[in-house]
Structure 1
């Protein structure tokens, strides 16, 4: 059964709505807390920032203070209940570690997921053997990593692609992500076949970015995932994958930047049908990636001239300007 939208996302939505209502009433944090008898503004600040699980009684007090009309009040109470819940999520996700749980919450409630991976197969597309190999590498850096528990958690996350109403999922892969790179031949061929099988699902799209093709000068430095949700008012989210701690972005400026990057990557990538054909060829001949034009078989190549078809993707100035750093 589908999971409701992530409590993390509903907390962010609730916080934004409550902040909007407070500002509509022209009230400061101090004035609201004074009216409600709250000891400090930190409690309200954390609710507005989506950093704490809200108590429904506190939300009802805030809605009274902001004189919210009945219809809007009912909508916000529903969001508050979603934001406060956790039992259904924790039971479904099992004994998952904190990092995988953060992704699973977003994936489970998403309407669309777009992932970019420059070097490895994304977690939702990994076979158990490939996942075990990748997680085994992580254990070299951290002996506390429980490889088998993390593999089980990854398989639980993957169920989102096989449920009755899955999200629309798109994977954008650099060609390096499909290079064997020391992976045992049997594991690698199984992984490629698995990608071909998944790509046959109507809600799964896999597209390769060929070597030498740049997305209008844009080259993301880290893997990222972008999520949207069934309720269009719920805040869309981008997760940046780092070595130790992942970063969740949700500001309109950040989302606009990553929307533009995704558009450029889509312009640069091979069509889905060509990607699947390439993956099928690699199953039969993994050495194809290392060939040059002088080899008996032709090298893997992208579009003629190495340029994406859209003029928009050739104009770096069209990207949103990044915000200056703040202290």
Structure 2
């Protein structure tokens, strides 16, 4: 079954709508706090910025104050329930960890995902053995209190990957992968052999498009992307698009339209500079064959009985809002 709507995205959607309603009512934050009788002055700010789990009673107080009725009120009550339904969302996954949870929340309910992998392959594409190498290679950088069992982390990442291969409502997925991310620095030869064979299989799915960016490719006017990033678009058009920017210590989540437009444009540049999807798949298959047959272990298998959703592979113009 498709995952429940992302609580993170619904919190952001709810917060933006509550801010719009407050401004339309001509009220300041202090005025709202005084009228609803909340003790904390920061409570409204956290709610409007999507940083706290909303309480339905609090939201009803605000809707009453803003005189919101009818279908708009009912829609916002439903969004509030989704935003607070963390347990319901987690039931969509057999296992989850705190490190994987942020990305899993963004991927939940996605209609489209666009990712750029300059050095490390995106998590949705990784085999178990490749993930294990990534986790063990960075274990000294993770504070002990934040460290998870590597095998649990691997299982959690595998659970996320169902978004590409589930029987119904699988997300449309595109990834631009630098040639460097597919090279020998990623892990031992047997690990990279399994990883490349796995990518070759994924690239055959009708909802998955992979683009290989050769080392000598010129991107736009010699543009160089600073870091990996992911763009998320959701099945519900009222849920705000989001961009996740990877960093060493923490990831940055952006929803501002101007910021989103920049990353959409960069992804377009990267895609235009990359090999075509057919040529990219041939490149990956040839590189995998050169490393040898796929190992018996390591690949996160696609469900053997699944039938990928019938989607026409096409290159569409991304909107900038």
Q: State the TM-score bracket (shorter-chain normalisation).
A: 0.7 to 0.9
User: What is the aligned partner in structure 2 of residue 141 from structure 1?
Assistant: 141
- SS of the residue corresponding to residue 181 of structure 1 reads helix
Do residues 200 (structure 1) and 204 (structure 2) align? Answer: yes
1:154 is matched with 157
Equivalents in 1 of 2:230, 2:208: separation in Å? 15
Deviations 1:40-85 (A, max 9, x none): 3211111111111111111111111101131111111111111111
Deviations 1:110-149 (A, max 9, x none): 1111110111221111111111111110124336452111
Contact 2:11 2:53 in 1 (8 A): yes
Corresponding residue to 1:233 among 230, 234, 238: 238
User: 2:186–2:192: 8 Å Cα contact kept in structure 1?
Assistant: no
CA distance in 2: counterparts of 1:102 and 1:219, whole angstroms: 27
- Superposition pairs for residues 90-129 of structure 1, below 5 Å? 90-93=90-93, 96-129=96-129
Unaligned stretches of 5+ residues in structure 2:
293-319
Check conservation: 1:119, 1:176, Cα contact below 8 A.
yes
After superposition, the CA RMSD in angstroms is: 1.7
Q: Provide TM-score, normalisation by structure 1.
A: 0.84
For residue 94 of structure 1, report the CA deviation from its aligned partner: 5.1
Name the residue aligned to 1:257.
262
Residue 181 of structure 1 is matched in structure 2 by 185
* 3-state SS of paired residue (1:67): coil
Q: Partner residue of 2:80?
A: 80
Shift of 1:162: 1.5
Cα offset, 1:3, TM superposition: 1.4
Q: What do residues 73-101 of structure 1 show as CA deviations (whole Å, max 9, x unaligned)?
A: 11111111111111122333455332310
Deviation at 1:16, TM superposition (A): 0.5
Query: SS state of the match for residue 177, structure 2?
Result: strand
* Contact 1:228-1:235 at 8 Å conserved across structures: yes
Residue of structure 2 equivalent to 1:33: 33
In structure 2, the residue matched to 1:23 is 23
Give the paired residue count.
Answer: 288
1:307 corresponding residue in structure 2: none
Matched, 1:267 2:272: yes
Q: Secondary structure at the match of 2:138?
A: helix
1:312 aligns to what? none
Aligned counterparts of 2:285 and 2:38: Cα–Cα separation in 1: 62
Equivalent of 2:228 in 220, 223, 232: 223
Post-superposition, which runs of at least 4 consecutive aligned residues in structure 1 deviate over 6 A? none
Q: Distance in 2 between matches of 1:139 and 1:61?
A: 46
Give the TM-score normalised by the residue count of structure 2: 0.86
Cα distance in 2, alignment partners of residues 79 and 51 from structure 1: 15
Equivalent position SS for 1:111: strand
Larger radius of gyration: 1
**Which region of structure 1 is more displaced relative to structure 2, 185-194 or 93-102?**
93-102
SS of 1:150's partner is helix
Q: Secondary structure at the match of 1:92?
A: coil
CA distance in 1, matches of 2:175, 2:169: 18
Bigger relative contact order, structure 1 or 2, given CA contacts below 8 A and separation 6+? 2
| Structure 1 residue aligned with 2:316 | none
